[in-house]
Amino acid sequence: MRYDNLPIYKSALDFCVYCELIVKGFEKYNKYSIGEDLRKYSKKILFLIHKANIFDDKKEVLQKLVNRCEETKMLIHLCKELKSFKSFSQFEHISKLCVEICKQAQSWYNYVSKQIRSNNYWSSTTNANNSDNAWIVNFNNGNTNNNNKNNSNNVRCVRAGE
């Protein structure tokens, strides 16, 4: 497993297990309504972390993860208002776990967003068959293609090899 060493995965796994444990103690109505939602959301967070770790284009998945985390915080607050938790300490602990995951997800998203602003970057090589075109490199998947020089793509400064 390429994700089990990630701190965010470990936090999400703890969160998921804790959700399962406390929902068992919800009253019957809440257990099968909002408790079921809480269990599903916690698992979805875990699965999104896995997807973000294996996908080349992480940004879209990480945005979904950040959104799911925020929705989960709202769901936890709703559980509190409905008095689903057996004690305030349950609410406090699950909130701390969720907030920690949200912070890590947002940081991961910010890092990936700053890494690559767009897919395509110009190379310095003009297409040999058409001098109006130059080669571009897609930094998300490594593919190369040629593109008209009038099109806008990003430029990345690099140093020539020694």
As a whole number of angstroms, the distance between CA 116 and CA 154 comes to: 10
- At the top level of CATH, the class of 7-115 is mainly alpha
| pLDDT digits 0-9 by tens, 58-105 | 899 999 999 999 999 999 999 999 999 999 999 999 999 999 999 999
List the domain boundaries for the chain. 7-115, 117-162
Most distant CA pair in the chain, distance = 72
* pLDDT (0 to 100) of residue 127: 84
pLDDT score of 1 more than 80: no
What band does 25 get if pLDDT is binned at 50, 70 and 90?
very high
* pLDDT (0 to 100) of residue 141: 66
Do 52 and 65 touch, CB atoms closer than 8 A? yes
Structural Rg of the chain based on CA atoms: 22
* pLDDT (0 to 100) of residue 116: 54
User: Which helix or strand (DSSP H or E) is residue 58 part of?
Assistant: helix 58-81
| φ, ψ dihedrals at 125, nearest 5° | -105, 120
Would you list the DSSP string of 94-159? HHHHHHHHHHHHHHHHHHHHHH-S-SEEEEEEE-TT-TTEEEEEETTT--EEEEETTS--B----P
| pLDDT digits 0-9 by tens, 112-152 | 887 655 577 777 788 888 888 888 887 766 778 888 888 87
